[in-house]
């Protein structure tokens, strides 16, 4: 492992950063395996550990567990799980487990996205003692405000490659597209259960209330726009109830993975940049959808099918 994240090697912040990255490291146990280290100080022992080529699982040292946490919102967690799925086979091959700490009220929804359930374990954020913060505004990993200068999808890729570097996983992420055949099976199951109510939509509206100040949501403008599209006989579905005659995912208690599933067969998505949208950033949806109109302030996406907007009335369909 390189020392990219520790430019000033011999200082107190280095030790703190080290134990943030390697919470299970036991100096006495390590010294017992390398008798020649007994005369070295703490910094020198850590340096030996980081530079020892035999420690391919050095991030875990003898525990097989990677500790990662995030205290923020649902969409952040789904993106993180997408990353963990992408390295899932590496976790299996190397007998590694990720303990992922977040708020328990998100566990049920997040768990649906986990493919490698024996290697990615959800834990309560209230029990986290140490680990790496997997949050895109963690400036220990990425330059502050960089996501305002490049597309959010591009930023996540850069951020996650830094995260993988920091935790010692020798893998590179090239894209964020979520690929899971369960989405297609789920799509068929939902439509069988609800008599094709969600089949081949013209527009999926993700109009859920944003919780992080990422968009100035004018609910009256959105409701009027949605009702107008209904009057044009378009087949539409919303994620927040607008009108008794317009189907809504809340009517049938669909999860955000269910929403991701129905997004795989729709012409357009009009979405606030909020949690339920993240699952729609999947291989099948991005291949089939004609355009995604995403509503967010001061952030862009680089995918050619995604258009960032701020005024719902500017959408012409």
The model's pLDDT over 92-122, given as tens digits with 9 standing for 90+, comes to 998 899 999 999 999 999 999 999 999 999 9
pLDDT for residue 203: 98
pLDDT for residue 283: 94
Listing DSSP states for the chain in one string gives: ---TT-SS-SSHHHHHHHHHH-TT--HHHHHHH-GGGTTS-HHHHHHHHHH-TT-TTTTTTTS-EEEEE--S-HHHHHHHHHHHHHTHHHHHHTT-EEEEEE-GGGHHHHHTT-S-TTTEEEEEGGG--S-EE--TT-TTTS-TTGGGTS-HHHHHHHHHHHHHHHHT---------B--THHHHHHHHHHHHTTTTTSSEEEEEE-PPPSSS-S---HHHHHHHHHHHHHTT--EEESS---TTS-BGGGGT--HHHHHHHGGGEEEEEEESSHHHHTTSBHHHHHH-SEEEEE-SS----STTEEEES-GGG---
Q: What is the reported pTM?
A: 0.79
Q: Rounded mean pLDDT of 77-86? A: 96
pLDDT for residue 9: 37
pLDDT in tens, 205-231: 999 888 777 788 999 999 999 999 999
pLDDT for residue 239: 97
């Amino acid at each position: 492992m390189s020392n990219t994240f520790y430019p000033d090697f011999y200082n107190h912040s280095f030790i703190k950063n080290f134990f943030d990255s390697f919470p299970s490291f036991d100096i006495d146990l390590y010294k017992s395996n390398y008798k020649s280290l007994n005369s070295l100080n703490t910094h020198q022992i850590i340096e030996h550990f980081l530079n020892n080529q035999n420690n391919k699982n050095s991030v875990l040292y003898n525990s097989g567990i990677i500790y990662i946490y995030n205290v923020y919102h649902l969409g952040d967690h789904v993106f993180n799980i997408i990353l963990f799925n992408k390295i899932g086979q590496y976790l299996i091959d190397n007998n590694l487990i990720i303990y992922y700490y977040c708020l328990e009220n998100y566990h049920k929804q997040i768990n649906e996205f986990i493919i490698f359930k024996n290697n990615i374990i959800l834990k309560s954020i209230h029990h986290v003692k140490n680990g790496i913060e997997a949050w895109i505004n963690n400036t220990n990993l990425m330059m502050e405000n960089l996501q305002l200068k490049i597309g959010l999808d591009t930023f996540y890729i850069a951020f996650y490659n830094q995260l993988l570097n920091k935790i010692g996983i020798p893998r590179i992420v090239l894209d964020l597209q979520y690929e899971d055949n369960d989405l297609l099976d789920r799509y068929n199951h939902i439509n069988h259960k609800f008599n094709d109510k969600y089949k081949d939509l013209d527009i999926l509206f993700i109009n859920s209330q944003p919780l992080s100040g990422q968009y100035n949501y004018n609910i009256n403008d959105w409701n009027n726009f949605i009702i107008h599209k209904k009057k044009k006989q378009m087949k539409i579905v919303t994620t927040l109830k607008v009108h008794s005659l317009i189907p809504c995912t809340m009517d049938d208690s669909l999860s955000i993975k269910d929403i991701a599933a129905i997004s795989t067969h729709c012409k357009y998505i009009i979405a606030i940049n909020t949690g339920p949208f993240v699952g729609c950033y999947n291989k099948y949806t991005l291949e089939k959808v004609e355009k995604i109109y995403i509503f967010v302030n001061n952030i862009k996406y680089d995918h050619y099918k995604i258009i960032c907007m701020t005024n719902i009335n500017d959408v012409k369909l």
